[in-house]
Amino acid sequence: MFHSILSKSLRDYRVPMLAWGFGLLVFMATFVAMATPAEVMAYISLVKILSFWGDPYAINTPEGYITFRWMETGWPILLSIWPILAGARLVRGEEERGTMDVLLATSQARTRLLLEKVGALFLALLVIAVLFALGVVAGEAALGGGHVDVVRALLAGLNLVLLAFFFGMVALLLSQLTTGRRAAAGWTSGLLILFVFLNMAGRELNGAWVQYLSPVYYYNLNRPLLAGFPDQPLASLVPLGLAVLCLVGSALLFARRDIGRSAIESRREAAGSRQQALRSLSRAEREVSTRSVSLQTLFADGWGSFWWLLGIVAFCALWQFLTPGLQKFFNQVVQQTPWLARYLFDTPTNTNTAVLGTIVFAFVPALVVILALTLALKWPSDLENGRLELIFSTPQSRPRVLLERFGANALIVLLASVVTWLTLTIGAQLANLSINQGRLLAASFSMFPPALVAMGLVYAVSGRLRYGAVLGIATTYLVLSYLQESLEGNIQFPGWVMSLSVFHLYGNPIFFGIDWTNFLGMTAVGLALLVISLLQFRYVDIELG
């Protein structure tokens, strides 16, 4: 595997490739197998209110149901996440680690290096496409057969990974223009959301021109799982062609720019004078961000958190906009759909507020907890990369540094609760919706304890465990926790199992107010985990990086 840059890169991708691939395989096998006529019929009633999500072509067939539910919007978003991260770090990651200099010290041309790495990413995506197809075929076999053949499954997988590859190449291009991979990944994620939104807006506004701006629209012009769908194979060339354009642009910029700098920064910094350089010391003296560990953490997390908060605001605002037109229909659908009624067994749906609360507070708590997780994960990452060596050479005690970092993370998470509350309050005023302010406040601020538990868990196991292990433990716990709560109406878990889920313990405060026992209990667990992290961190060796 070390014969070429391509094979070495493919080796580097083996874990995410297999994880995403086999994850998709299991997921598709399960959901295709579950696409029984009863399941499909039950879902059809929801299609009207979910018209922004997809186009219900042949919705009464298993393949139409799967296409509508997962292939039009869901998987294009989810499967693009890894290529975006991989594209952003494709060369920028190597530069940040300082390994690019070593690679370029060999007789490899920059363009070839870039193409081999991109080739590895594309091959990894093809493997994922094949595993996806195997999942569909396996599910098809379990369902009874006759709906989707292997070729169609493979074409669907290919269509999906072409779009994901496009987003990976956008991230690669932006990584040439930004100074860090995180910024490139952040901007590309923003574009992904924008393109999905444009496509949704196009559907809602009956063919509005805005959807033509979105590669997601061209992806959806082909639905290989559907036998009778009028596919337009040339439409696949749009995301592919755009990906190639991004790749060519990246190759041109990468071949010309300084390693370690962005294509823009190289020129700007060259113009700096000695006096300007010294003036930067005076500027830094006035900067608030340099005053303490907590302020530095807040500022360092600023941009990333801003995008998260903006996403939460957009999500809340979108549903506030859609709710008045949906409420009656949504209530009717819930009453007529047994599995949905079971899913929302403890949730009223008979008012605008109820619909808004149901939809917003089914997802925003998960977003806030994921935000908390991403913020907290920087702690083990910094520890492992030796970024705290200089901090710990100053007279700041270990508990103090840890507490300041944790406090800064907690403040941003608290801000997410405030932002949710403010958006819904202001939106309700503008949309003339009557919302119980007390319940809204309860629902917004009850998101904090689950996030506190997630952060506490990460901090408690950091120091002793490597970053990858911390990420695995925390992510697994939260995914299981969310699934457990989502399936509660359909699967009976023992009470003690349910009490392990932070999302279950979050409860339904938008309708029933704060459950103080759970609120205080989770807060206590979060604080206990913080205490554990403080105690164990006193004795760990600081990694050299």
Partner 1 sequence: MPAIIQTHQLTKSYGKSRGILEVTFDIQEGEVFGFLGPNGAGKTTTMRTLMGLLRGNLGNATIGGLDCWKESTEVKKLVGYLPGEFSVDPGLRGAQIIEYLGHLRGGVDQAYVRSLVERLGLDPSKRFRAYSHGNKQKLGLVQAFMHQPRLLILDEPTSGLDPLNQQEFYKMVAEIHAGGRTVFLSSHILPEVEQTCDRIAIIREGRLVTIDHVSALKAIRQRDVEIAFAAPASVEWFKQAADVTNVAQGADERTLQLVVQGDLAEIIQIAGQHGATNIATHEPSLEEAFLRFYEPQQESSALAG
Q: Which residues bind partner 1 (CB under 8 A)?
A: 95-96, 179-180, 260-261, 265, 269, 272, 274, 276-281, 283-285, 287, 289-293, 296, 300, 385-387, 389-397, 539, 541-542, 544-545
Nearest approach, Cβ of residue 381 and partner 1 (Å): 11
Nearer Cβ to partner 1 (206/394):
394
**Closest CB to partner 1 among 260 and 348?**
260
The residues near 534 (Cβ < 8 Å, ≥ 6 apart) are 399, 402, 403
Instruction: Give one DSSP letter per residue of 395-410, joined into a string.
Output: S--HHHHHHHHHHHHH
Query: 270: phi > 0 → left, psi -120 to 50 → alpha, else beta; which?
Result: alpha
Q: How far apart are the C-alpha atoms of 169 and 188, rounded to whole Å?
A: 10
How far apart, in whole angstroms, are the C-alpha atoms of residue 250 and residue 6?
17
Nearer to partner 1 (CB atom), residue 2 or residue 541: 541
Locate 311 and state its tokens: 């996403």
Kindly state the smallest distance separating residue 278's Cβ from partner 1, in Å: 7
Q: Nearer to partner 1 by C-beta: 296 or 417?
A: 296
The torsion angles phi and psi of 543, rounded to 5 degrees, stand at -65, 150
Q: Is 58 left (phi over 0), alpha (psi -120 to 50) or beta?
A: left
Measured from the CB atom, the residue of 260 and 311 that comes closer to partner 1 is 260
Q: Which amino acid is at 491?
A: I
CB of 116 vs partner 1, minimal distance in Å: 24
DSSP 148: -
Which runs of consecutive H residues, i.e. helices, occur in 205-301? Answer: 215-219, 237-256, 265-270, 274-286, 293-300
Instruction: Report the C-alpha gap between 415 and 403 in whole angstroms.
Output: 18
Name 277's bridge partners.
none
**Among 318, 313, 310, residue whose Cα is nearest residue 204:** 318
The nearest distance, CB 451 to partner 1, in angstroms, is: 23
**CB 516 → partner 1: shortest distance, Å?**
39
187 vs 482, beta carbon nearer partner 1: 187
- Judge contact between 91 and 175, C-beta under 8 A: yes
CB of 300 to partner 1, least distance (A): 6
Which distant-in-sequence residues (6+ apart) come within 8 Å of 184 by Cβ?
A: 87, 88, 92, 171, 172, 174, 175, 177, 178
Going from the C-alpha of 188 to that of each of 157, 168, 497, the distances in angstroms are 22, 8, 38
- Is 206 or 393 the residue whose CB approaches partner 1 more closely? 393
Q: Least distance to partner 1 from the beta carbon of 182, Å?
A: 8
- In the complex, least distance from residue 297 CB atom to partner 1, rounded to whole angstroms: 10
Alpha-carbon distance 237 to 381, whole Å?
39
In the complex, least distance from residue 469 CB atom to partner 1, rounded to whole angstroms: 18
Q: How far is the CB of 408 from partner 1 (least distance, A)?
A: 14
510: phi then psi, degrees, rounded to nearest 5: -65, -25
- Minimum CB distance to partner 1 smaller for 277 or for 434: 277
Nearer to partner 1, 3 or 274 (CB): 274
Interatomic CA distance for residues 412 and 448, integer angstroms? 10
Q: Which is nearer to partner 1, 107 or 277 (CB)?
A: 277
> What minimum distance in Å lies between the beta carbon of 460 and partner 1?
19
284, 391 contact by CB (below 8 A): no
Cβ distance to partner 1 smaller for residue 144 or 545: 545
Tell me the residue type at 105.
Answer: A
137-152 burial: b if 16+ Cβ within 10 Å, else e: bbbbeebeeebbeeeb
| Cβ count within 10 A of residue 374 | 16
Question: Which residue lies nearer to partner 1 by CB, 105 or 390?
Answer: 390
Min dist. Cβ of residue 103 to partner 1 (A):
17
Cβ proximity to partner 1: between 293 and 364 the closer is 293
Q: Is 44 left (phi over 0), alpha (psi -120 to 50) or beta?
A: alpha
Least distance (Å) from partner 1 to the CB of residue 274? 8
